[in-house]
Amino acid sequence: MASQNLDPAASAGGAAAAMKGSEAGGNTTKGSVTKRLQQELMTLMMAGDKGISAFPESDNLFKWVGTIDGACDTVYEGLRYKLSLDFPAGYPYQAPRVRFLSPCFHPNVDEHGFICLDILKDKWSALLDVRAVLLSIQSLLGEPNNESPLNAAAAALWPNQEAHTKFTFVLCDWNSKIPNLFLYSNSFR
């Protein structure tokens, strides 16, 4: 694991510090994560990046809802996707859990909306932030990793961009007619 992903509070005093941290330091850790997430929210809002946004869901700073617009000149151009971002107590030393809430027919997105992206797994770094995650997912939409697909059907169709585009828009059109079916069907699993 890279040194930037080691929590200095957890590694400073070994096991004794970890025991104390679970009693009194838990609030300190939560406070530092809260402060980091507040800073990231401000950075994201001030950056003014086109096609990405994210905000906390109600008063819970550890659960956000984001949107990503499909990039220009890709099969996703003109589409908007909704995502959930869940931040663990160990953030930024642990990656957030990110998934699509909107149906997304993509080689690296499974039927539950989970995303195969290295920075959300083994390439995570505490130096990354919400903005970098959203921009990376937006980039992944137009440049999938077909060598490691979560959705074999989308990966097989990807080389035929015309067919992939038609299927993507049919799925989005169908979903817009029944907007919550995808969300409800996933909540019963």
Q: Which helix (H) or strand (E) holds 188?
A: none
Q: Which two tokens stand for residue 175?
A: 């979903």
Q: Which two tokens stand for residue 114?
A: 């989970």
Distance between CA atoms of 154 and 109, rounded to whole angstroms?
Answer: 9
DSSP one-letter string for 16-39: HHHHHIIIIIHHHHHHHHHHHHHH
Annotated catalytic, 116?
yes
The burial of 39, by beta-carbon neighbours within 10 Å (0-12 exposed, 13-18 middle, 19 or more buried), is given as: exposed
Q: Which two tokens stand for residue 13?
A: 């005093």
CA 106 to chain centre: 15
Looking at 72, 104, 116, 172, which residue is catalytic? 116
- Beta strands, E only, 37-184: 52-57, 60-69, 80-86, 97-100
* Cβ neighbours for 114, distance < 8 A, ≥ 6 positions apart: 99, 150
Which residues are marked as active site?
116
